Amino acid sequence: MSEIIKENKKLKKKNTAFTNSEEIVNDYYIANISRQLSILGRKEVLTGKAKFGIFGDGKEIAQIAMAKSFKTGDWRSGYYRDQTFMLASGMLTPEEFFAQLFGETQLSKNPANGGRLMNNHYASRSLNDDGSWKDLTTQKNSSADISPTAGQMPRLLGLAYASKLFRENKDLHQFKGFSNKGNEVAFGTIGDSSTSEGHFWEAINAAGVLKVPMAMSVWDDGWGISVPNKYQTTKSNISEVLKGFELDENGDGYLIYKAKGWDYEGLCKLYAEGVELCRKNHVPTLFHISEMTQPLGHSTSGSHERYKSEERLNWEKEYDPIKKMREWILSNKISDEEQLSQIESKAIDKVKEARRIAWNHFIEPIKKEREELIYLVQNAGCHCKKTDRIDAITNSLKKIIHPVRKDNFSAAKKILRYICSTCENYKPLKSQLQEWLKNSLDQNYARYSSHLYSETSLGVRNIVSIAPVYSENSKMVNGREVLRDNFELLFTKYPLLLTFGEDTGFIGGVNQSLEGMQQKFGELRVTDTGIREASIIGQGIGMALRGLRPIAEIQYFDYLLYALQTMSDDLATMQYRTKGGQKAPLIIRTRGHRLEGIWHSGSPLSMVINSIRGVHVCVPRNMTVAAGFYNTLLESDEPALVIEPLNGYRLKEKRPDNLGEFNTPLGIPEILSEGTDITLVTYGSCVRIAEDAVKQLKDFDISVELIDVQTLLPFDVNGIILKSIKKTSRVVFFDEDVPGGATAFMMQKVLEDQKAYFYLDSEPRTITAKDHRPAYGTDGDYFSNPNAEDVFELIYEMMRESNPDKFKSIYIK
């Protein structure tokens, strides 16, 4: 019989009830504080002080019981109704609850997200101000929440898997600030209806396969907004459906527990038992907590009276968990009516005071800004005809009871329009107001737009560039060997580095670029996974949050679309939505471009670059450039996607002598051939096609400056393309994305951002693939994707437009 099952039976015999009456009464106080936060928070939204509210009413008792087993060093990946858990675990104060509701931007008042997210979206701060790691084992940790339902599940898998690695890989025991030898549990929470999402099932299956310490709680109140769970879950019961996952005699599977959301004593015993086993034996555990209520409805956007029957509403009143806990306390003579009434009154007073404090902290700086603006305008002494209009704007601003920064900034911009150009006060007032606007814009950038990328010394922009070194002894090898040998040096250099993905481990990758790596570094560092792209990315995010340096491999670029939501909503926003409080420097490795057929063509770049701002996108033309990107990224603290050119693994490249040391800078294009007539801008596998076209054009006396952008995010940070256009006065953007895709992105960056439009003598052009995905076969590829002849023809015609006498017509129109 499994040792886990034996230990489970022993624990069931232990008395795990909480007999400390003072602790029980304090739990009742926390429950009442949380409920009052929900009630008063809802009122703040409905009276206009806050924009939107979603609360944890009805979930109080179960979350208090769960918090008792949440220890220092543990992690949460949760659900937007976990306010009671955050209160009970000491990671949230009532003042911070209201600060988040109001959108407070001061991190000292709203440390979870600094006003970046709506309420009930939590995060602990893992980083110091300089971006260095705090000791994560000395604090309780919450990964940063996101709103998409079940979006927390992929990340939860990685948080739990990190504990397994820190326990089983003895070389990681030295990193004491990240883990106490894998003793940490990752706590997940989710609403019952969200278990319908694919992310839930993918992560649940993977956690069972990997055998990780994941304690998963499902809050089941019977509804998903207005849709009952009979439409959500087979048999209307998630634990019943998951019976096939239950722990067997071989120790495979989950411990599955069921309890009622109003049963305080039972819940305390349940969590104490289940989490202890989860922590000790690294067995995933599921807690299905049913008969929960939601007395205030789904959110401030609607009322549950519209879709719940009178019978159901009456049941929810009778089985309100706080009411049932009160009854249990009285029946067990733990406290009396008078004391409980005092606690309830105390909770109301505490929440009201917290609201007052948080509101004053939020509103007073904005009012002060308004006063400064009005003083500036009214003391200028301007008496021109437009004063009435200025007075009307300032008077209107004064009358706003609860101003926001938008009101102040908008008023200042409008006033600036009406300052006269004749009176003596024109120049000082206009300059002072412009200075006020500039300062305000700078401050609001810091409040609302900072930290999309790293702002630390480890940001990719600060990594010193080191070029590949070659000598007479440098060998010509297959491109895959450059990658393989470079990875071997990196794995030796960085003990926190690991890689995982489909076919990544035993066979060394589908293109053999990890050949022999698992045999040398072990299965814990070079690992195969199941076919589950979304949770592969989530697994990497969770590990990166815990200090590891994962490279998550997605076999082909097209398959990345399975994981795009996780990349977009979670990874790309991590530093931004925590205002620099958390980082996940995950490297995503994949391959694409120019393979045959609809689902292996691998070039939907515009779909990616426009949805994962916050993640760098590297598009190397060969494996040496790709290896340089990995070297750069592992020195930095930022996430990135590297798309290796699929047709380059067996092409010959010269092997650099300084593998593992040289790096490819991000955002710096490389000029591959200098020219004077036209600038050709491309990347990735299209570089080889462009090089072919450049040779063909040279035969016709057309000099092309070929530029490989190397990365799309960031893009040409030093304006190298602009300098080329100033010389050539013509530009073509070339790739194999769809029309209006990444070529349009590049064109906008160069013509608009770099102002290259003013230096053009011909209209800018793009060369792209067809609107459809590539057809199968060599001919399907040729007639679907752009080729060297297409590049030749377009550039030749552009030159003919400017000099038809020199460049005679070739093609019949």
Which DSSP string do the residues of 356-398 spell out, in sequence order? HHHHHHHHHHHHHHHHHHHHHHHTS---STTHHHHHHHHHHHH
**Quick count: other Cβ atoms within 10 Å of Cβ 333?**
8
Name the percent of the chain lying above pLDDT 70.
95
Distances (CA, A) of 535 to 18, 172, 517, 760, 780: 37, 23, 23, 47, 33
pLDDT above 50 (res 25)? yes
Q: What is the pLDDT of residues 746-784, one digit of tens each?
A: 999 999 999 999 999 999 999 999 999 888 888 988 999
Q: What is the pLDDT of residues 97-146, one digit of tens each?
A: 999 999 999 999 999 999 999 999 999 999 999 999 999 999 999 999 99
**Quick count: other Cβ atoms within 10 Å of Cβ 531?**
12
pLDDT above 70 (res 705)? yes
pLDDT above 60 (res 484)? yes
Distances (CA, A) of 304 to 192, 312, 321: 17, 11, 18
Residue in the structure block whose two tokens are 């230096």: 759
Structure confidence at residue 1 as a pLDDT band (50, 70, 90): very low
pLDDT above 60 (res 9)? no
Give the helix ranges, DSSP H, for 664-774.
Answer: 686-698, 720-728, 742-747
pLDDT above 80 (res 427)? no
Q: CA torsion sign, 801 to 806 to 810 to 813?
A: positive
Residue 2, φ and ψ in degrees, nearest 5: -55, 140
CA 163 to chain centre: 21
Tokens of 215: 């304690």
711 membership: H or E segment, kind and range:
strand 711-713
pLDDT of residue 11: 54
Q: What is the pLDDT of residues 202-218, one digit of tens each?
A: 999 999 999 999 999 99
Q: What is the pLDDT of residues 673-695, one digit of tens each?
A: 999 999 999 999 999 999 999 99
pLDDT of residue 6: 57
Q: What is the pLDDT of residues 213-250, one digit of tens each?
A: 999 999 999 888 888 888 999 999 999 999 999 999 99
pLDDT of residue 15: 47
pLDDT above 80 (res 594)? no
**Quick count: other Cβ atoms within 10 Å of Cβ 441?**
10
Residue in the structure block whose two tokens are 């003083």: 375
What pairs with residue 127 in β-bridges? 133
pLDDT of residue 296: 87
pLDDT above 80 (res 602)? no
pLDDT of residue 227: 87
Q: 359 with 102: CB under 8 angstroms?
A: yes
